[in-house]
């Protein structure tokens, strides 16, 4: 096996671990019901899970798989930051920063 193929394979495994790790952290921090709502928010429904043999991990990976290979980590990040509770917290933190900057000026 060439070095290039081995590196591409390593990158793909790293990306898979990264994606699945973020989803696992989300599930552990929020519970099953919220996790199911998050999957739906990301565009991963029961049909997708059924299509992938009932494996949630396979459905997650398939959702973010790029046509040319690899995974779209930017899309996964976009889904995360557009999740209403996260988006609201980001806005709150930005407002706090702006208020601090305005009071310092």
Q: In this predicted structure, what is the pLDDT of residue 3?
A: 58
| pLDDT tens digits, one per residue of 41-97 | 999 999 999 998 999 999 999 999 999 889 999 999 999 999 999 999 999 999 999
pTM of the shown model: 0.79
| pLDDT tens digits, one per residue of 25-41 | 999 999 899 999 999 99
Look at residue 11 and tell me whether its pLDDT is greater than 60.
yes
Q: What share of the chain is helix, strand, coil (3-state, %, to 5)?
A: 80, 0, 20
Q: Domain residues of the chain, as ranges? A: 3-104
Are 46 and 54 spatial neighbours (Cβ–Cβ below 8 Å)? no
Q: In angstroms, rounded to a whole number, what is the distance separating the alpha carbons of residues 30 and 89?
A: 15
Q: In this predicted structure, what is the pLDDT of residue 105?
A: 75
């Amino acid at each position: 096996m060439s070095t290039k193929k081995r590196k591409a394979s390593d990158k793909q495994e790293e990306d898979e671990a990264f994606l699945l790790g973020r989803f696992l952290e989300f599930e552990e921090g929020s519970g099953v019901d919220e996790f199911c709502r998050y999957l739906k928010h990301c565009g991963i429904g029961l049909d997708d899970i059924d299509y992938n043999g009932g494996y949630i991990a396979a459905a997650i990976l398939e959702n973010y798989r790029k046509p040319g290979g690899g995974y779209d980590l930017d899309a996964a990040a976009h889904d995360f930051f557009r999740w209403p509770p996260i988006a609201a917290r980001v806005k709150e933190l930005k407002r706090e920063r702006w208020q601090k900057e305005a009071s310092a000026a």
